[in-house]
Structure 1
């Protein structure tokens, strides 16, 4: 029995690093209030420094927020009353490739991309019930805090595209935003009023 335990420990210690940490895509860096993560059939209370896995769904309450940092140094902050799924996260530093697919079920988020945003052809998309948001390397915000329509703005960076079955627009100027519903294409980009931009940013400030 003792030999079997020692042999098992030896095998684990000698696994390649990428095998041991394959499901670790980032960690929680800040929390405010009670934040829950749904992981398979488990419902766990998040805390700072907690490791996150592909497939995790994060849920904030009416008085809570959370910030997480991914392996490529992308930082994502979730507003209150938000549900956000980390559906797929593939990042290869050596090959400078990525394939990231997240889902905003409800609420709002802000994302500041890290190394992925600096890649030549980054693949980083956030799906919502009305449209998909994709980045070209940027600091961007998206959410449903104003209405059932999705608001998206580019805070800074190279660009953000928003697309659905009815059309696609790209935000390429800091402060530009768009609004999109399930029944129509994203609206033409325009600079958001300062109060609207500040309201969005404050919703995800932590």
Structure 2
């Protein structure tokens, strides 16, 4: 029984690494909702656990909405109540990290980001933009609070650019 578990584990690790190593194809999901409560939307479509996330979508939460997303490279994105962010770019290529391009545009609210393999392999490829600042990250876990006139970054772990 332990041998079967070990084989299944190795298969899952190898398959997962292979899937993450390939660049994401246009039109394919670049993330999946892990948790959603209250009002949470992608382009005004109600989200729930398991919903796919695509490049170009604007994610938003209402007054009591929360949204947790796992991206294709293992990154984590969380929106707190009354927040809005657009996934402008999300191309991850671990075979050639120079092709990785990640940009998330936060319009307002509170967003937490934990860098995935794409940002770890190519630090300059990750940008989180707010109305008043652009944040470059190096393997970090951070929270940004933003509105039309100010942005505050709470760096939980890692290095900011």
Instruction: Give the structure 1 partner of residue 70 of structure 2.
Output: 69
Unaligned ranges ≥5, structure 1:
1-16, 162-206
Instruction: Give the structure 1 partner of residue 95 of structure 2.
Output: 94
- Report the count of equivalent residues: 139
Tell me whether 1:31 sits opposite 2:17 in the alignment: no
Query: 3-state DSSP class of the match of 1:72?
Result: coil
Report the Cα distance in structure 1 between the residues aligned to 2:124 and 2:117, rounded to whole angstroms.
Answer: 9
Partner deviation per Cα, 1:44-89 (whole Å, 9 max, x = no partner): 1111101110000011000011000110000011110001100111
- After superposition, the Cα gap between the structure-2 partners of 1:57 and 1:94, relative to the gap in structure 1 and judged at 3 Å, is same
Tell me whether 1:54 sits opposite 2:63 in the alignment: no
Structure ranking higher in helix proportion = 2
Report the Cα distance in structure 1 between the residues aligned to 2:102 and 2:23, rounded to whole angstroms.
Answer: 18
CA contact (8 A) 1:142 1:150 kept: yes
Report the Cα distance in structure 2 between the residues aligned to 1:96 and 1:86, rounded to whole angstroms.
Answer: 19
Alpha-carbon offset, residue 96 of structure 1? 2.8
CA contact (8 A) 1:123 1:135 kept: no
**Larger RCO (CA within 8 A; separation ≥ 6):** 2
Partner deviation per Cα, 1:112-136 (whole Å, 9 max, x = no partner): 1121232154411011111111111
User: Who wins on radius of gyration, i.e. which is larger?
Assistant: 1
Report the Cα distance in structure 1 between the residues aligned to 2:127 and 2:68, rounded to whole angstroms.
Answer: 18
Tell me whether 1:160 sits opposite 2:153 in the alignment: no
RMSD: 2.2
Unaligned ranges ≥5, structure 2:
1-21
Query: 3-state DSSP class of the match of 1:156?
Result: strand
- After superposition, the Cα gap between the structure-2 partners of 1:142 and 1:132, relative to the gap in structure 1 and judged at 3 Å, is same
Report the Cα distance in structure 1 between the residues aligned to 2:134 and 2:87, rounded to whole angstroms.
Answer: 15
Instruction: Give the structure 2 partner of residue 123 of structure 1.
Output: 125
